[in-house]
A and B are shown apart, each in its own frame.
Chain A
Amino acid sequence: MASTVESRRASMADRRPSMAERQSTGIGIGIGSRRPSVIPYLAGIEKPVLPSIPSKCDVLICGTGLVESILAAALAWQGSCVLHVDANPYYGDTCATLTIEQIKAWCSSVNDSLSGFQGFSKAMLHIPFPHRLVSRDYGIDLTPRVLFTKSDLLSLLITSRVYRYLEFQSLSNFHTFEKDTFGKIMSTKEEIFTDQSMTLSNKRMLMKFMKFVLEYEQPENKQELEQHMQEPFTQFVSDKFHLTPQQINELCYTLGMVPQPDISTLQGLSRIRRYLVSFNIYGNFPTLYSKYGGPGEISQGFCRSAAVAGATYKLESTLQSFDADTKTATFTDGSKVKVTEKVVFSPSQAAQGSRNVPERRYQITRLITIVEKSCKEWFAEGESAAIVVFPPKSLSSNNVYPVQSIIMGSGTGSCPKNQCIWYLSTIEQGERGRRDLEAASKKMEESILRESEAGGFDVNLTDSDVAIHANGSISVINSVKLGKSFKEFVPKEKLTYLLKLMFTQHTSVAPFGVVSNGVFEKAEETDHPGKGPDENVLYSSMPSTEISYDGVVTEARLLYSKIVGSDDDFFDVDFEDEDENDNVLANESAIADDSDEFQPEMAFEL
C-alpha cells in the first residue's frame, strides 16, 4: 500500500498534466494490487468513455460533489452497489477545482443555465492577459473551504483513511479588517501574555472569556448562560466581559467566522469554541486546508475510496429522467439502469423539467481573483494561506454582512509562483453583494501593495504607535502584520489582476442552518400529481455559505439514513491494519500498550 500511495503522491505533486487527464489516470493506480480478490469495476476512472454502463445498481448518485462522494463511499463500504455519475468531465461538481479553461467553459454553461450547472448564476469572467495564464497551472475552487482540526470531517478522513490520498497544510493567520487597518486578534495565551498594547484588566477579561467559551456547557456556567440566552452575542460579551467592540468583532466575525450580524449568544459561543478547541491538536494552528484544491480534492478522495469499495464511476453522463414505477433511470445517451433502492441528485445536475428540486432561497456572492503577487506577507511562517475577514460596516460600501476571504498562495499548489488566488464571499445578495466584494478586494490590494513595498512599513512613529507604561517605560506597539493606516499611503505600483470571476451561488441551506430532514421531506412529497422526471428522487443540497466543512458529514449521514434506514453503520469499516508492519514497536512493547484501555494513561502530562 505504501508504494501505491507514493506513486499517487508523485502524480499529484506533479500536477502539471491537465486536471482531466490526471483525474482519469490518477485514481486508478494500484487499486488492483490492494485488493486483488475484488477487482472493482473501474470504468469511468481509468477510461472516461465507456461503451456501456452496468444495467443494474442499488443506488444511483448524480453529481460528484463533496456530500455525494462521501455518501457514495459510505454506501459502497456498507455493501451497496453504487453507480456514481457526473454530467461533467471532471469530479467535484459544485465544489470542483478547475483549471482556467474549465472555468471558462463553466462560466458559459452557468450563464446558459445548462443542466449540470444549476445552482449558480450570473457568472462574470474577466481575463485581461489571456496569454499569461497557463491553464493547467491553476486549481480554482468553486467553493473554497478550510478544515478545522477538531471536526467531524477530519475524523471521518482518518477513519475512512481517505486522508492518505490528500495532503494537508496548516493555516494559522486570521486577519480582521477594522478602521482601515488589518489586525490579528490575540487568541492564544502566548499572544495575550506578550502583547504590549492591551491593558492588564483587558488581558484578564479576554482570557476569562476564552476560558468561558471552552467551558460554557459546564453546569455552573449553564445557569449564567440561561439568563443571557436571548441576548445578541455582542451584547452578552460586552456586558459580561467588557471587551472592546473591536475585540468583539474579531472574535465573532474572524474567529467565529460568522457570516451575518446579530447572532444569538449561544451561536456565537459555539462558533468561537470551534476555533479554540481546534488549537493544539496537530500543532499551534486551528485550521487546515487541502493542497491543490479544497473540497474538489477531498471529494475525489472519497470517490477513490468508493471505487476501492466497489462503486462504479462514469463521468460525462447526464441523467435524463427517472421512472419511479419501473425504477429505471435513463441517460441522455439512451442507456438505462435499473435502480433497486434510491436515486440521489445534486440539484446542480437535476434533469430538465424536474419539479422537486429543493427551493434555494439563500445566496452567496463570490469573487475569485488571481493576482500577480505572492502575498507571503499575510501568511504565517512556513504557510501558504490565510483568512481575512471584513466585519459588518467596515468597508466603504457600508456592508451589512461580513465579507470572508481565503487567500491561497502558490505554496498551496493551486497557482504558480509569485501569484496568489483570493477567494472572497458574502451572503449579501445582488448588486450590493458585488459592491461589497469589490470594496474588500480593493482594500486587500492596497494592503498588500503597502506591505510588500520596498522599504516595508511606515517608519515614522507617532504617539499612538507607542505605549507608555505606568512605570514610565516606553515600548513600541508590535507593528501589525498587514500594515497600519492607508490614509497617507500612495502605492508606487499597481496590482496586476490575471483573472477576475464574480458569480452567485444559490443554496437551500440557511446561513446558520445545518441541513435538516425538512429539506428532503419536500422533495419526496410531490405537490404535482403528475409524474416528473425526478419523482422519488432524493436531492442533496448545494454547498452552504459556511466557510468551514461543518454540515457536510451531517448531510451525508442524513442522506445515508434515508437510504439505508439508519446511520449506525455509516463508515463502520474495519480496514486491514497495515500499520502493523510499519511499526513493530507498537505491537511488541512491554511498557507501551496495545490495548486502548491503557493508552489514556500513557498519554502525556505528569
Chain B
Amino acid sequence: MSQALQAFQRETGTFLDGYRTEEGILRMHGTKKSKHQTKQAILIRIKKDAAKISRYRRLSNEVLSRKEAHKYDDESFKLTTQLLDWNPEFYTIWNYRRDILTNFKFLAVSDSEEKHHLLVKELQYILLKLKSFPKCYWIWNHRKWCLKQDCRADFSVEMHFIGQFFEVDPRNYHAWGYRQFIVQCMKDSMGLEGERPKIDYQEFKFTTKMINKNISNYSAFHNRSNLVGKLFDQSPNCTDINETDVNLQRYLSAFSGKSKKQVLELELNMFQNAIYTDPDDSSVWIYARWLFGDYFLDDLTFNEGVTLINKANKIIEELAELEKEDNRGIDNQWCLKTQLYLLKQLYKLYKAEDDSGVNYPEDDAREFDKMRNRLLELDLMRAQRYKNLSLDN
C-alpha cells in the first residue's frame, strides 16, 4: 500500500465509523424512542428549535455579509466551516469557501507542496462531510474542485476512497459519477494513449464485479454501457492485460477484436442468467433495451440481427411461461414489455432491409398485438401508452 494511502487511512480512521446509514443511526442511538410526545414535550421542542433557528440565522447572516464584503481571511473560513457543518446544502457558502481558498489561503503558501497539504486537509474535511451526507451534490463538487486544484493529487488514494463508498452503498450514483471523474483525471494525467483502454477495461471489470454482487444496480449497468462504447472506440490489447477469469477473457478478446456481435452474445448470456435469478428486477430489463438498441444492431448484418433478436425473444418467452404458471396466470409485465420492444427492433431491421417492411413475419406481428393487448389488461395505468404503441412508432 502506498504511503499516501497509509497516511490517508491513519487520518481518516475506520471508514465505517459514523457512516450515516439507517443501521448506523440505529447503532448510534439504539432503538427509536417512544413516539408518544405530550403536548408539553412538543412545546419544549418548539422552544428549543426556535433558539436553534435564531442561532442559525445569525450565523448565516454573518457569513453572507462577509461574502458580500469579499472578506477573505481565516476567521471567515472558520465561519464557513461552522455553517457548512450545520447545513452542507447551502451551496453559496461552498462557493464562498472556494473564494477564500483561492484568494487567501493559496496565496499565503509559497509552493505547490504546501498547497498540496492544504488541499489534503480540505479533502479530509470533505470526507467527513460525505460520511454524513453521501448524496449531497455540493460536497462532491467541492471535492472535484479540490482535486483539480492540486497538481499533486493522488488518484490511487481517491480510487481507494471511492471503493470504500461502494462497499457501503454500491448504488449511490454520486459515487459512480465521481469514479468516472477520477478515471477521466487519471487518463488525462497519463501520457501514453495506450494506457487508456487498460483503465477502461479495468473499469469494465469493476462493473462486472458490482453487478455480480447485486444485479439491481442501475448505475453499474449505465457505467457498463458507457464503457462498452469506449472499449470499442479505443480497444485494449489482449496481450497487455493479464486476465485470469475465463469469462472476462472472452470479453477482452471481443473488445480487442472489435466484435460487437461477440460482446452482445456474451451479454445475452449474462442477461439470461440475471432474469432467471430475479425476473422482477428492472435494472436488467432496462439494460436489455440498450443491448438490443441501435448501438449493437447497427453493426450487425441483417441475418445476424434477426438471429440474435429471435434468440433473445425465445429466452424471454420461456421465462414468461414459467412466470405465468407460477403467478396464477398473471404474466410478468417486464417480459411482455421487453418482448414488444424486441419485436419493434426486429421490424426496424426488416424495414431497413427492404423499405416497406412487408417481409416481416406475420406470426411476429400477431404476437405483437396479442402482447400489447395483454399489457392493456394488466397495466391500466399506462393504457394510453400501449394504445399508441405499434410496430411503426
Contact = CB atoms under 8 A, between A and B. Distances in A.
Interface string A189-203: 110111000001101
B30 A158 contact: yes
Max chain A CB contacts within 10 Å: which of B33, B56, B86, B269?
Answer: B86
Given A204-B322, A589-B87, A590-B86, A193 B277 contact: yes
A189 B23 contact: no
Nearest to A157: B30
B132 interface: yes
Interface stretch (A16-24, A538-546, A596-604): A596-604
A194 B212 contact: yes
A189 B56 contact: no
Given A208-B326, A603-B22, A200 B86 contact: no
A207 B52 contact: no
Contacts of B169: 604
Given A193-B215, A604-B22, A155 B279 contact: no
B213 interface: yes
Contacts of B276: 200-201, 203-204
B358 interface: no
Contacts of B18: 583
A159 interface: yes
Contacts of B279: 204
Nearest to A156: B31
Contacts of B322: 201, 204
A239 interface: no
A604 B33 CA distance: 20
Interface string B257-290: 0000000000001001110111100000000000
B89 interface: yes
B135 interface: yes
B32 interface: yes
Nearest to B25: A599
B269 A596 contact: no
B273 A200 contact: yes
A600 B213 CA distance: 26
A33 B393 CA distance: 77
Nearest to A149: B23
B214 interface: yes
B121 to A, nearest CB: 19
B386 interface: no
B33 A591 contact: no
A159 B277 contact: no
B7 to A, nearest CB: 23
A604 B35 contact: no
Interface string A248-289: 000000000000000000000000000000000110000000
Contacts of A595: 45
Given A193-B212, A204-B279, A588 B35 contact: no
B86 A588 contact: yes
Given A158-B30, A190-B212, A588 B273 contact: no
B25 to A, nearest CB: 6
A580 to B, nearest CB: 10
A194 B211 CA distance: 10
Contacts of B233: none
A190 B277 CA distance: 9
A590 B56 contact: yes
A496 B88 CA distance: 60
Contacts of B319: 204
B76 to A, nearest CB: 20
Interface string B55-92: 01000000000000000000000000000011111000
Contact of A192 (B87, B133, B247, B277): B277
A599 B277 contact: no
A50 interface: no
A475 interface: yes
Contacts of A204: 276-277, 279, 319, 322
B19 to A, nearest CB: 11
A204 B247 CA distance: 22
B246 interface: yes
B282 to A, nearest CB: 14
Interface string B21-46: 11101111111110100000000010
A282 B25 CA distance: 11
Contacts, number: 85
Interface residues of A, number: 36
Given A193-B273, A590-B56, A583 B23 contact: no
**Chain B interface main SS type:** helix
Contacts of B29: 579
B316 to A, nearest CB: 12
Nearest to B281: A189
Contacts of A510: none
B269 A471 contact: yes
A189 B22 contact: no
Nearest to A158: B30
Nearest to B247: A475
Contacts of B27: 158, 282
B28 A589 contact: no
Interface string A176-212: 0000000000000110111000001101100110000
A203 B277 contact: yes
A77 B32 CA distance: 19
A140 B191 CA distance: 61
A512 B86 CA distance: 52
A585 B31 contact: no
A592 interface: yes
B274 A589 contact: no
Contacts of A592: 132
Nearest to B35: A596
A105 interface: no
Contacts of B45: 595
B33 A200 contact: no
B277 A189 contact: yes
A588 B215 CA distance: 38
B192 to A, nearest CB: 34
B215 A585 contact: no
Contact of A190 (B25, B86, B173, B214): B214
A114 interface: no
A468 B269 CA distance: 14
A207 B246 contact: no
A586 interface: yes
Contacts of A207: 277-278
Contacts of A589: 85-87, 132
Nearest to B21: A604
Interface string B307-335: 00000000000010010001000000000
A590 B87 contact: yes
A1 interface: no
Task: Please give me the 8 A-B residue pairs with the lowest Cβ-Cβ distance, nearest first.
Answer: A590-B87, A200-B276, A603-B22, A158-B30, A204-B276, A596-B32, A193-B277, A194-B212
Given A190-B213, A190-B214, 4 more contacts: A158-B26, A193-B278, A204-B276, A282-B23
